[in-house]
Amino acid sequence: MKKVYRRIGEKVGFLILGLATALLVFVLLFILYDIFSKGGRTLSWEFITSKPLRGMTAGGIWPAVVGTFWVSLVTVVFAVPVGMFAAIYLNEYAKQGRLTRMIRLAIRNLSGVPSIVYGLFGFALFVLALKMGLSVLSSGLTLGLLTLPWTITASEEALKTVPFSYREGALALGATKWQTIRTNVLPYAVPGMLTGTILGLARAAGETAPILFTGVAFFWPVLSPFPKLLTSQFMALPYHLFIMSTQHHNITKVRPIAYGTALVLISLILGMNFVAIYIRYRFRKKYKRF
Amino acid sequence: MNDANRKLPWRRTKEKAIQHFFLVNGLFAVLVLVCIFSILFIEAYPAFKEIRPGDFLGRQWNPTSPVRESYGLGAMILSTLMVTFGAMLIAVPLGIASAAFIAEVATAKVREIVKPVIEILAGIPSVVVGFLGIVVLGPLLSKWFGTPSGLNAVNGSILLAVMSLPTIMSISEDAIVSVPQEFKKASFALGATRWQTLTRVTLPAASSGIIASVMLGMGRAIGETMTVLMATGNAPAMPAKFSDPVRTMTATIAIELGETVQGGIHYHSLFVIGVVLFFMTFLVNFVSDLVLRKYQKVSR
């Protein structure tokens, strides 16, 4: 009798666990469904490629798309080399010791610092102290610092997947440490680093709090041509969604625009995620042949 | 041979230079952390000079009052703790349950689909989650509580739960999977069922990893800005119940920094909030790190 009771208890227990998981999957699917179904009604080529019109109650989101692109570019140019080099140091050169421990501790803590604190920091340092003003540059650098712990961690993971025998082979042939890294480690680690970088970038592109005080503008329809745009304010997709859903004077009228913006933003980020996963997948397949 | 020998010192210098170059990049992370902390502190310092420390302990935050400015952090710290607590109340059981399901119950095929799907949740930007809090969850809650607006602490808690769930689920699952097979086999050999093994052997053995995951999720919830800014109603008063609108520390910084005079007391007092926030998340991450390290030692 007790045995039957036990078996029923087990079934119920596993059922509850399954339901919890199903709930999570449902929440995700609901979010995607809601955004895609309602945003899809607004979405069109004109919506993406035209400027906001008539007090932002009509028109599209092109300036925000361009702004997000340029800020992300600054983020990448700044964060990726530093992140990769730091990872190369940690995985290839560093010896276990106080210095290495300190660096790792700093990286872990950096990844826990709230994004709004990065915003405060970027405002005080880049905008005011270094006199970069409210600009693409200030925002990009702030986001670059925010993504740094992710790019370092991802690059290190990629370096770790390269088998030790690759290094030993080169060293045994008399190559120096740097020659070994350049010819026998990096070529195999780069796709993995790329994956991590894209994932980090996808997160940076969706961040709002760090750019809030460092350069994003409510309405800035025309960006100047290349070198000058770095020092000007800009519009960005996540911030555009924020103002369209909270700050606009006619919230209900612009709701379709908000949904459309959310759709473009989420597609951009999911798209980057899929590209990253695809690169990793291709890389793994290629890797197996060796 | 001779030629190679002459090249050797140059090569050695070059190798050393390259190594130092990479070291500098590694140290950059330390530099950034030190810079963040010192700049926050330097910018907060003038406020400590002007405002008595006791005033920060007050409840009321009203730096722009024409009668008497007050700089109490009480209401916003309580707000932050309320939404974080509410979020954990939802996210911890759900996160651990789904982690246990994926690690121990689900078939390999289900696992390979469900885990990445839940990790996609982590990639959804906070501003999109906040937006859904306004347009979907808000109206629902307003009907439920009978209040004119559904933007309150409950709304924020649910959204923060959604945002911290992937972290909790993913790290807990790693912890459960890394429990040695011998533990489970021993339990089965003693006649325990799968359920008994899970609840009395596997989960306790994975507990430090699970606790660390909860702390990380909590850190994320405390520091999250856009979702709470959009979905909690932002009333800067002392909240009494979960259906009250609240204004967290992060939201206060986000709302007020753009409106202050640079160099004024109000401006500097916002950095005081930043310092407190920095320490809160630092503490939570530090504890999670300690727990996780203990766990790695044990499993080794």
Of A88, A246, A266, Cβ closest to residue B128: A266
Residue A30 contacts residue B217 (beta carbons within 8 Å):
no
How are beta strands B70-71 and B61-62 bridged, if at all?
antiparallel
Asked if pLDDT for residue A288 goes beyond 60, the answer is: no
B29/A114 CB distance under 8 A: no
Residue B222 C-alpha, separation from nearest chain A C-alpha, in angstroms = 8
Token readout for A242 is 């924020």
Question: Chain B: residue nearest A18 by CA?
Answer: B101
The phi, psi pair for A102, rounded to 5°, reads: -65, -45
> Alpha-carbon distance A31 to B122, whole Å?
12
Q: Of B209, B198, B205, which is closest to residue B175 (Cα–Cα)?
A: B209
Question: Which residues of chain B make contact with A108, given a CB cutoff of 8 A?
Answer: 285, 289
> How many Cβ pairs within 8 Å bridge chains A and B?
242
B253/A116 CB distance under 8 A: yes
> Alpha-carbon distance A162 to A287, whole Å?
10
A82/B28 CB distance under 8 A: yes
A120/B257 CB distance under 8 A: yes
Question: Chain A: residue nearest B158 by CA?
Answer: A27
Q: Of B202, B195, B198, which is closest to residue B179 (Cα–Cα)?
A: B202
Residue keyed to tokens 């911890």: B92
Question: Which residues of chain B make contact with A120, given a CB cutoff of 8 A?
Answer: 40, 43, 253, 257, 270-271, 274
A119/B253 CB distance under 8 A: yes
Give pLDDT, residue B1.
47
List, for residues A196-235, the tens digit of each pLDDT value.
888 888 888 999 999 998 988 887 777 777 777 788 888 9
Label each residue of chain B as H, E or C: CHHHHHHHHHHHHHHHHHHHHHHHHHHHHHHHHHHHHHHHHHHHHHHHHHCCHHHHCCCCEECCCCCCCEECCHHHHHHHHHHHHHHHHHHHHHHHHHHHHHHHHCCHHHHHHHHHHHHHHHHCCHHHHHHHHHHHHHHHHHHHHCCCCCCCHHHHHHHHHHHHHHHHHHHHHHHHHCCCHHHHHHHHHCCCCHHHHHHHHHHHHCHHHHHHHHHHHHHHHHHCCHHHHHHCECCCCCCCCCCCCECCHHHHHHHHHHHCCCCCHHHHHHHHHHHHHHHHHHHHHHHHHHHHHHHHHHHC
- Could you report the predicted ipTM of this complex, rounded to two decimals? 0.90
Residue A261 C-alpha, separation from nearest chain B C-alpha, in angstroms = 9
B230/A242 CB distance under 8 A: yes
User: From the CB of residue A143, how many other CB atoms can be counted at a distance below 10 Å?
Assistant: 30
Residue B36 contacts residue A121 (beta carbons within 8 Å):
yes
DSSP letters spanning A151-174: HHHHHHHHHHTS-HHHHHHHHHTT
Report the residue of A25, A100, A117, A265 to disrupt the B interface, i.e. the one with the largest count of B CBs within 10 Å.
A117
Task: Provide the CB-side half-sphere exposure for B71 (13 A, CA).
Answer: 19
Give pLDDT, residue A3.
73
Kindly give, in sequence order, each residue whose CB lies less than 8 Å from that of residue A108, ignoring residues fewer than 6 positions away. Answer: A149, B285, B289
DSSP letters spanning B168-204: HHHHHHHHHHTS-HHHHHHHHHTT--HHHHIIIIIHH
Asked if pLDDT for residue B239 goes beyond 90, the answer is: no
Which residues 91-120 of A have a C-beta within 8 angstroms of B?
Answer: 92-94, 102-103, 106-110, 112-120
A21 interfacial to chain B (CB closer than 8 Å): yes
Question: Which residues of chain A make contact with B277, given a CB cutoff of 8 A?
Answer: 114, 116-117
> Alpha-carbon distance A141 to A214, whole Å?
10
Give pLDDT, residue B146.
82
Asked if pLDDT for residue A140 goes beyond 60, the answer is: yes
Question: Chain B: residue nearest A89 by CA?
Answer: B22
Give pLDDT, residue A42.
85
Q: Of B155, B188, B185, which is closest to residue B86 (Cα–Cα)?
A: B155
The rounded Cα B167 to chain-centroid distance in angstroms is: 9
Report the residue of A201, A246, A273 to disrupt the B interface, i.e. the one with the largest count of B CBs within 10 Å.
A246
Asked if pLDDT for residue A250 goes beyond 80, the answer is: no
Kindly give, in sequence order, each residue whose CB lies less than 8 Å from that of residue A144, ignoring residues fewer than 6 positions away. Answer: A74, A75, A78, A79, A82, A204
Residue B73 C-alpha, separation from nearest chain A C-alpha, in angstroms = 17
Give pLDDT, residue A70.
92
A262 interfacial to chain B (CB closer than 8 Å): yes
Phi-psi region of B191 (alpha: psi -120 to 50; beta: other; left: phi over 0): left
Question: Which residues of chain B make contact with A258, given a CB cutoff of 8 A?
Answer: 131, 135
Can you list the positions of beta strands (E) in chain A? Answer: 52-53, 58-59
**What does DSSP assign to residue A224?**
P
> Alpha-carbon distance A132 to A139, whole Å?
10
* Nearest-5° Cα angle at A76, A70 to A81: 150
Give pLDDT, residue B121.
82
pLDDT band, very low/low/confident/very high, at B230 (cuts 50, 70, 90): very high
Residue A48 contacts residue A264 (beta carbons within 8 Å):
yes
* Mean pLDDT over the full length of chain A: 87
Of B23, B230, B253, Cβ closest to residue A246: B230
Helix (H, G, I), strand (E, B) or coil at B263: coil
Report the residue of A11, A24, A186, A247 to disrupt the B interface, i.e. the one with the largest count of B CBs within 10 Å.
A24
A17-21, A48-52, B97-101, B140-144: least confidently modelled range? A48-52
* Comparison of pLDDT for B2 and A255, the residue scoring more: A255
Residue B62 contacts residue B69 (beta carbons within 8 Å):
yes
Question: Chain B: residue nearest A118 by CA?
Answer: B36
Average pLDDT of B229-253? 87
The rounded percent of chain B whose pLDDT value lies above 70 is 96
Give pLDDT, residue A290.
47
Of B126, B128, B278, Cβ closest to residue A113: B278
Residue B187 contacts residue B266 (beta carbons within 8 Å):
no
List, for residues B128-166, the tens digit of each pLDDT value.
999 999 999 999 998 888 888 888 889 999 999 999 999
Residue B158 contacts residue B90 (beta carbons within 8 Å):
yes
List, for residues A98-133, the tens digit of each pLDDT value.
888 889 889 988 988 999 999 999 999 999 889 888
Question: Chain A: residue nearest B18 by CA?
Answer: A178
Average pLDDT of A262-274? 92
pLDDT band, very low/low/confident/very high, at B3 (cuts 50, 70, 90): low
The class of domain B61-299 in CATH terms is mainly alpha
What CATH number does domain A45-288 carry, 1.10.3720.10, 3.60.20.10, 1.20.1070.10, 1.10.510.10? 1.10.3720.10
Of B14, B39, B274, Cβ closest to residue A125: B39
A152 interfacial to chain B (CB closer than 8 Å): yes
A255/B93 CB distance under 8 A: no
Asked if pLDDT for residue B257 goes beyond 50, the answer is: yes
> Alpha-carbon distance B87 to B81, whole Å?
10
Which sign, positive or negative, has the C-alpha torsion A290, B108, A36, B119?
negative
Can you list the positions of beta strands (E) in B12-91? Answer: 61-62, 70-71
Give pLDDT, residue B5.
60
List, for residues B80-109, the tens digit of each pLDDT value.
999 999 999 999 999 999 999 999 888 888
Asked if pLDDT for residue B298 goes beyond 60, the answer is: no
Beta bridge partners of B71: B61
Give this prediction's pTM. Answer: 0.90
